[in-house]
Amino acid sequence: MNKKIQINTAYLYILPAFLIMGGIIVYPVIELIIGSFMTVTGGKEVFAALRNYRLAFKDPLLWTALQNNLKLFLCVPVMTVLSLVIAVILFNRIAGWRFYRSIIFLPFILAIPVVGIIFTYILQMNGVLNTTLRNLGLDMLAIDWLGSPTLALPSVGAVIIWKQLGFGVVLFLARLMSIDISLYEAAEVDGATWLQKFFQVTVPQAAAVIEFYVIISLIDMLSWVFSFIFVMTAGGPGNRTTVLEFLIYKKSFGGGDFNIAMAISAVVLVMATILIIIHQSLLGRREEMSE
């Protein structure tokens, strides 16, 4: 009887958290899904079945935005490798490693609009970067980084990598500090080189954290880059940097159909959910292997 009372008390304690989650997460998601099947006719919202989804997928801009998001996925392996390598270097306790860790993490805590505005001034045609290149006699390298159809998206991707790198470094560094040091000592006794220790000790031991970081970063590239695009390029030039989030914004507040925007949002939600399911399945498989 006492055990039952304890269980009921535990549920009572976590009830407020469930109510908050229901209010700020579950309810909006349900409203989103319902709204994606509705349309406004004669000032009234009526059921429209798959109309919004059909119109969304017929829009060439949706596929352009999706392709741009997939291109930004290429930032993830770059961020992962750089973060892991830098974390390993800092883990070796080089002189001033705490200072370097703070400097590397600093961009991550900066507001995205601030970062976007600063890099817009740096990367524009007559910005800091091109002015410096011209002063060095490298006029041929002075390019309109954000105005070029081929370089605009890679330029935004480079800024995203710069800002997000610190999170990966701190995450991997925390994992490295919890690895049994005897593994590295045994590798050194066997005559392992730095690269051998990296691939045979560090990477396997940090595999779970690497998987988590990759999945989280993929979700970020899918549904978290709106602020960069809005501040730096506004989707241009010629929709070359339009991503799904920015398309949803344009459909919602740029004279489009709000219900179509909700349908596109539901598609993004499904894609993000698939990535989460993949992460959970990898995690479950890893736990089964460790038992």
- For residue 12, being part of any structural domain is answered with no
**Could you tell me the pTM of the whole model?**
0.89
What's 38-50 look like in SS3?
A: EEEECCEEEECCC
Domain with 207, as residue range(s), is: 36-290
Question: Best-predicted range by mean pLDDT among 5-9, 37-41, 83-87?
Answer: 83-87
Q: What is the CATH number of the domain that holds 213?
A: 1.10.3720.10
Report the Cα 19 to chain-centroid distance in Å. Answer: 27
According to the model, what pLDDT value does residue 245 have? 94
Phi and psi (nearest 5°) for 73?
A: -60, -25
- For residue 184, being part of any structural domain is answered with yes
Q: Say yes or no to pLDDT of 1 above 60.
A: no
Please answer whether residues 264 and 258 qualify as being in contact, where contact means their C-beta atoms are separated by less than 8 angstroms: no
- For residue 242, being part of any structural domain is answered with yes
Q: Say yes or no to pLDDT of 4 above 80.
A: no
- For residue 58, being part of any structural domain is answered with yes
Instruction: Check residue 95 and report its DSSP letter.
Output: T
- For residue 2, being part of any structural domain is answered with no
d(CA 23, CA 148): 43
- For residue 174, being part of any structural domain is answered with yes
Question: What are the tens digits of pLDDT across the range 89-118?
Answer: 998 888 888 898 889 999 999 999 999 999
Q: Say yes or no to pLDDT of 280 above 60.
A: yes
Q: Say yes or no to pLDDT of 41 above 90.
A: no
State the CB neighbour count (10 A cutoff) for residue 255: 7
The structural domain count of the chain equals: 1
State the CB neighbour count (10 A cutoff) for residue 231: 19
Question: What are the tens digits of pLDDT across the range 155-170?
Answer: 999 999 999 999 999 9
Give the rounded percent of residues in the chain with a pLDDT score beyond 90.
Answer: 57
| 38-41 and 44-47 strand pairing | antiparallel
Angle formed by the axes of helices 152-176 and 207-223, nearest 10°: 150
Question: What are the tens digits of pLDDT across the range 46-78?
Answer: 889 899 999 999 999 999 999 999 999 999 999
Residues sharing a CB contact under 8 Å with residue 164, sequence separation 6 or more, in sequence order: 75, 79, 108, 217, 220
Question: What are the tens digits of pLDDT across the range 136-147?
Answer: 998 888 999 999
